[in-house]
A and B are shown apart, each in its own frame.
Chain A
Amino acid sequence: MKTKYMNPYLAGVLLGLVLLSAFYFSGRGLGASGAVKSIVVTAVETVASDHASNSEYYSKYTGEGKNPLNSWLVYEMLGVIVGGFLSGAFAGRLKLKVEHSPKITSNKRLMLAGIGGILFGFGSQLGRGCTSGSALTGMAVLSLAGFVTMMAIFGTAFALAFFFRKNWI
C-alpha cells in the first residue's frame, strides 16, 4: 500500500543515528518525559517554593544555583517541537484537529488522551524514563532496566488492547 510516511525501517535507522549522535555528544541517549518533569518542578518551585525545597522528590532538582529548565532534555524537546513542526510543514500535515476513531466522539478521545497521559507521566517517573529514555536508550546500552521496561510497556499495551479496541478499530 502506498503511504505518505517514510519507510519505517529507514526511519528506524535514522532515529538510531540520532540516538547514536546523542550518545556521542552527551554520553546519554534520548529522553522526553524528563523535559516535562523539569517544567513541573519549575512550576511547583515558582508557586510553592517551600513545598518544593521540603519535598524529597522536587528538591533533587532545585536549590541554590540550580535551574531545572537549564537541562539537556528541555532543549532537546524544544528541538523535537521544531523538528516535528518542520516535518509536518513539508509533508502538508499541519492541522489543528482531534484525531479519533469514528466510533468515539472527540470529547471521549480527549478524555482518554488525558487519562493516558496521566498514567504515562506517573509511570515514567516510577520507571525512571519513558519509551525514549528508558526503553529505547536503555536497550541501546544493553541495560537490564531498558529491556525490562520495554517488555513491560509493550506487553501491557498488548494485553490490554482487547479491552480498549473500540477506541481504535
Chain B
Amino acid sequence: MMGPLIPQEVIGEGWNFFIAFAVGIGFGFVLEQAGFSSSRKLAGVFYGYDAVVLKVFFTAAVTGMLGLLYFSLFGWIDLSMVWVNPTYLWSAIIGGIIMGAGFIIGGFCPGTSVCAAAIGKIDAMVFVVGIAVGIFGFGELYPMIKSLYLAEYLGQVKLSTIFGISQGVLAFFVIIAALLMFWIAEIAEKKFPREEY
C-alpha cells in the first residue's frame, strides 16, 4: 500500500493515535538503548570523549533519508505528501543557536529528556519542566517575536533545490559527510579518555 497512510485516509482515524503510540515506544526504546538517557554521555560529543550523539543522529538521518528515497523509487510512498519543514531562515538559525546553548547547559534535548525522565533521571524531569516554561515564555512574548519568527520565508524548500542538484546526488554527499564525521569521531574517542556513564 502506498504511504503515507494517514493523510490518504487509508487507515481509520481511530488507529492514528495507536500508531503514534507504537512509533513512540520504538523511539523511546532505541533512544534509551543507545544511552541517550544519560546527559553526561550526550554531552560527551562536545568534548570528544563519547560521540554517541553524532553517530546515532547521523546514522538515523541517513537511514531515514535513504529509506524515503528508496520507498519513493519503489512506489511505496508518495513523497509529495510527505511534509517538508518550511524554511524561515532567521528563526531557523536563531532558534537553533538558542537550542544549542540549551543543549550544552542542560545536557539534553526534548526527546532525550523525556526518555531519561522515564528511567528516573531527576535532572531530566527538571529539564522537561524547563521546556514547558520556555514554550510558555515564547507564547507570552510572541507578539514581540512575531516579525523575527516569520522573517525571510523561503518556502518548503529542499537543500537539493538550493544547490540545483537531484535529491539522490545530495543524499550521496550527505552520506560522504556523515562517513567523514564518523571517522573523526572514532579518532576523537580514542584520543580523549572515556568514562562509562
**Contact residues of A with B, CB < 8 Å?**
1, 3-6, 8-9, 11-30, 32-33, 35-37, 39-41, 44, 55-58, 70, 72-73, 75-88, 91, 93-101, 109-110, 112-161, 164-165, 167-169
Contact = CB atoms under 8 A, between A and B. Distances in A.
Contact of B137 (A14, A109, A122): A122
B52 A121 contact: no
B111 A155 contact: no
- In this complex, the member of B11, B92, B123, B148 whose beta carbon has the largest number of chain A beta carbons within 10 angstroms is B92
Given A12-B62, A119-B105, 15 more contacts: A12-B59, A23-B3, A30-B111, A80-B111, A94-B119, A113-B130, A117-B102, A117-B113, A118-B134, A127-B98, A128-B92, A137-B85, A144-B87, A152-B96, A152-B97
Contact of A1 (B23, B44, B196): B196
A123 B37 contact: no
Contacts of A150: 96
Q: For the complex, would chain A's binding face be called helix, strand, loop or mixed by DSSP majority?
A: helix
A58 to B, nearest CB: 6
A94 B67 CA distance: 33
Interface residues of B, number: 132
Given A11-B34, A27-B81, A117-B130, A84 B115 contact: yes
Contacts of B71: 20, 23-24
Interface in B48-98: 49, 51-52, 55-65, 67-68, 71, 76-77, 81-89, 91-98
Interface string B13-57: 000111111111111111111110111110110110101100111
A49 to B, nearest CB: 14
B89 A148 contact: yes
8 contacts: A13-B59, A27-B82, A82-B25, A113-B39, A122-B134, A124-B99, A148-B93, A159-B100
B191 to A, nearest CB: 14
Given A20-B63, A123-B96, A153-B100, A32 B114 contact: yes
B122 A97 contact: yes
Contacts of B146: 56
Contact of A160 (B40, B55, B104, B159): B104
Nearest to B109: A131
A139 B30 contact: no
B29 A87 contact: yes
Contacts of B148: 126
B106 to A, nearest CB: 2
A83 B29 contact: yes
Contact of B101 (A44, A87, A99, A119): A119
Given A57-B139, A113-B126, A151 B56 contact: no
A15 B47 CA distance: 24
A127 B109 CA distance: 13
Given A8-B55, A153-B103, A127 B3 contact: no
B180 to A, nearest CB: 15
B138 A122 contact: yes
B157 interface: yes
